[in-house]
């Protein structure tokens, strides 16, 4: 049993260490498909080996468990990898950031306020509709994810007004995505006001970074 678990761990490490080159940054990154396969295989092997029986029965169950969990893990990883690639292709050059967490697979689209909304307003700019249309197309294609639309502001003005504006902007983006066919049950809109800032509120550049909407795409459960 110890040999089997050791082999499973080695296999998981080998698989999760596979890397690919990001065509947009030129940097190497770990493939989420490989990560899912490696971690899933390890979990399956441990579960299968822990279910009792004689040595041969434990060996068979461990291999079956590794195969089952490995395929499931690889499936989710590939799903998010492919969605990330599609979003980068559709949003290249439009000013929207596409970030994927290498550990969780969560994809975050960062939409700067200056290209999304008029100053201090929550009505979406007409020339930003095609960008949201592209996002909607991908979200509909990858329909197993849940989506959180988060609105943020800078710290200028009254906190209550900033919180209300951030909520209105999040609602506007979520509402537009729904109007383009994204299932409303997948969508949640939340306004955070000036919290969770990413830039220095003491400078114009920093405040501009903080005025944003983020579309957070969560992997299937």
Kindly state whether residue 206 falls inside one of the protein's structural domains.
yes
Structural domain total, the chain: 2
* CATH classification at residue 97: 3.30.1330.60
Q: Are strands 107-112 and 97-100 parallel, antiparallel or unpaired?
A: antiparallel
Residue 102 and residue 208 in one domain: yes
What would the pLDDT profile of 34-56 be if each residue is shown by its tens digit?
555 454 555 555 555 555 567 66
Q: What is the pLDDT of residue 94?
A: 97
Residue 11 and residue 68 in one domain: yes
d(CA 106, CA 109): 10
- Dig out the tokens for 159 from the structure: 């906190």
d(CA 78, CA 34): 8
* H-helix segments, the chain: 2-16, 32-49, 55-91, 113-116, 129-141, 159-179, 204-210
Kindly state whether residue 115 falls inside one of the protein's structural domains.
yes
**Predicted confidence band of residue 203 (pLDDT cuts 50, 70, 90):** very high
The candidate with the shortest Cα–Cα distance to 114, out of 100, 96, 99, is 96
- Dig out the tokens for 94 from the structure: 């439009």
**Predicted confidence band of residue 11 (pLDDT cuts 50, 70, 90):** very low
The candidate with the shortest Cα–Cα distance to 2, out of 57, 72, 58, 53, is 58
Residue 54 and residue 151 in one domain: no
- Dig out the tokens for 163 from the structure: 């919180």
What would the pLDDT profile of 120-164 be if each residue is shown by its tens digit?
999 999 999 999 999 999 999 999 999 999 999 999 999 999 999
Of all residues in the chain, what percent carry a pLDDT higher than 70? Answer: 67
Q: What is the DSSP code (8-state) at residue 123?
A: S
Kindly state whether residue 183 falls inside one of the protein's structural domains.
yes
What would the pLDDT profile of 186-200 be if each residue is shown by its tens digit?
999 999 999 999 999
Residue 121 and residue 44 in one domain: no
Is 175 a residue whose pLDDT tops 50? yes
> Would you tell me how many other CB atoms lie within 10 Å of the CB of residue 205?
8
Given 19, 45, 80, the domain boundary residue is 80
Q: How far is CA 58 from CA 6, 7, 41, 53, 69, in A?
A: 14, 14, 15, 6, 16
What domain range includes position 45? 2-80
Q: What is the pLDDT of residue 221?
A: 82
């Amino acid at each position: 049993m110890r040999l089997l678990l050791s082999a499973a761990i080695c296999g998981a490490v080998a698989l999760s260490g596979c890397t690919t080159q990001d065509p947009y940054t030129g940097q190497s990154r770990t493939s989420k498909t490989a990560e899912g396969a490696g971690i899933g295989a390890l979990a399956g092997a441990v579960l299968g080996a822990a279910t009792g029986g004689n040595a041969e029965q434990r060996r068979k169950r461990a291999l079956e468990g590794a195969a089952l969990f490995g395929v499931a893990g690889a499936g989710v990883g590939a799903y998010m990898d492919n969605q990330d690639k599609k979003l980068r292709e559709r949003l290249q050059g439009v000013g929207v950031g596409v970030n994927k967490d290498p550990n969780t697979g969560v994809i975050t689209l960062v939409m700067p306020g200056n290209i999304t909304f008029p100053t201090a307003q929550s009505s979406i700019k007409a020339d930003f509709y095609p960008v949201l249309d592209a996002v909607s197309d991908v979200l509909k294609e990858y329909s197993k994810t849940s989506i959180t639309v988060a609105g943020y502001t800078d710290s200028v003005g009254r906190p209550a007004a900033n919180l209300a504006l951030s909520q209105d902007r999040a609602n506007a983006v979520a509402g537009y995505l729904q109007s383009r066919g994204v299932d409303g049950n997948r969508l949640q809109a939340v306004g955070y006001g000036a919290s969770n800032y990413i830039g220095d509120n003491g400078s114009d550049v920093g405040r501009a970074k903080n005025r944003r909407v983020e579309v957070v795409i969560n992997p299937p459960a």
